Amino acid sequence: MTLLDVQNLKVHFPLKTGGFGKPRESVKAVDGVSFTMAPGETLGLVGESGCGKSTLGRAIVRLVEPTAGSILFEGTDLAKISNKELRAHRRQLQIIFQDPFSSLNPRMTVENIIGEALDIHRLVDGKTARRRRVVELLKDVGLDASYIERYPHEFSGGQRQRIGIARALAVKPRLIICDEPVSALDVSVQAQIINLLQDLQREHGMAYLFIAHDLAVVEHISRRVMVMYLGRVVELAEAKTIIRLPQHPYTQALISAVPEVDPDSKRQRIILPGDVPSPIHPPAGCPFHPRCPVAEARCRTEVPVLREVAPNHLAACHLAGKFTEKAS
């Protein structure tokens, strides 16, 4: 059974208008992404800034409008329904943001921040029931019930992120998009939030689309991992497999670039030349070929499709399937 089935999703942002208001150029932030998610699973989504990972997450909950493609969530295509219909489905889909300082309204108390979600979806009757539920949610995320009257500025980054999680949890969603939930936190606090997210999943059984740029964090929390580059999925596989036997040269470079604490590591580092190209004019052929250490002639002209290179292991590279343990 699938919870979410995204097919050929595109999000293009128009840039310049030509004659008659028609867009001439556009940023292809998400350019034909397809994947599925099972209920209760954690799918990690990694990539560098500008690869479209956050836009993809936002498009799924329709905080940005998709340009084309479908987003089947429990059988309903979220990309095609009206805003009014969407509201009913939003209860099932929540999002946690990266910056816990800008995602909470500074003029609302914790009770109202969390309670607002309950009000909108009419989940509680009366003030006492509302307060009881907010206290329950605070306890769920490891905060003291006495914090209910406080304002966001009275909390540390980690505590604010817990409030954001409680707000998402309030409506009992089936899927939570976690958009870099620990990147803005102190190192010693990150582990607390990661553990909390795992505990809550075990208890409530929701699925996570976990967006991050830290591969080690993503490997730790996810069952499967999806790697994006310039708006496209370049590799998708089980977390353990993708780290041990990455098939796409970009994934290989990404893994080798993670700074390692172990001073005796004899790992060979792959340093990619250049920067991520512009998503307005992506390179012809494989979008990665200008930086790829193993690119061949056909990579410059033929766009590689995302294909199964091993069971449950997808990669978009002409040469994928030839890389063995040694190459990684």
Partner 1 sequence: MALLEIKHLKLDFGSGANAARAVDDVSFAIAAGETVCLVGESGCGKSVTAQSIARLVPTPPAVYAGGEILLNGRDVLRMSGKELRQIRGRVVSYIFQEPGASLNPVFRVGNQIKESLKLHQPDRATDAEVVRLLKLVGIPAPEARQRNYPFEMSGGMQQRVMIAMALASAPQLLVADEPTTALDVTIQAQILDLLRDLKQRLGMAILLITHNLGIVGDLADRVAVMYAGQIVELAPARDLLRRPLHPYTRALMNSVPKLRGNLERLSAIPGNVPRTGNFPPGCRFAPRCPVARPECSASEPGLVEVEAGRWVRCPYWNESLK
Q: Is 6 exposed, middle or buried (0-12, 13-18, 19+ CB in 10 A)?
A: buried
Closest alpha carbon to 233 in 20, 1, 62, 7:
7
CB of 288 to partner 1, least distance (A): 11
* Whether 149 contacts 111, CB under 8 Å: yes
Rounded to whole angstroms, the Cα distance separating 19 from 38 reads: 45
Q: Could you tell me if 36 and 6 are in contact, meaning their C-beta atoms sit under 8 angstroms apart?
A: yes
Shortest Å distance, C-beta 326 to partner 1: 16
Stretch near partner 1 under the rule CB under 8 A, chosen from 67-75, 93-101, 255-263, 301-309? 255-263
Calpha distance 166→172 (Å, rounded): 10
Tell whether residue 269 is a contact of partner 1 (CB under 8 A): yes
**60 or 228: CB nearest partner 1:** 228
Binders of partner 1 among residues 185 to 224 (CB under 8 A) are 186-192, 194-195, 198, 213, 215-217, 219-220
Task: Indicate the residue among 72 and 216 with the shorter CB distance to partner 1.
Answer: 216
In the complex with partner 1, the residue whose CB is nearer, 87 or 269, is 269
Strands (E), the chain: 4-17, 23-37, 42-46, 68-73, 76-77, 93-96, 175-179, 207-212, 224-229, 232-238, 307-310, 313-315
Residue numbers 24-63 binding partner 1 by CB under 8 A: 48-49
Q: How many binding residues for partner 1 (CB under 8 A)?
A: 41
144 part of the interface to partner 1, by CB under 8 A: no
147, 118 Cβ separation under 8 angstroms:
no
Q: What is the closest distance, in whole angstroms, from the C-beta atom of residue 216 to partner 1 in the complex?
A: 5
**Identity of the residue numbered 263:** P
Minimum gap (Å) between residue 164 Cβ and partner 1:
16
Segment near partner 1 (CB under 8 A); pick from 66-74, 166-174, 259-267, 298-306: 259-267
156 binds partner 1 (CB under 8 A): yes
Q: How far apart, in Å, are the Cα atoms of 304 and each of 46, 102, 174, 315?
A: 20, 39, 34, 9
Binding residues for partner 1, per CB under 8 A? 48-49, 156, 158-159, 186-192, 194-195, 198, 213, 215-217, 219-220, 243-244, 253-265, 269, 271-272, 275-276
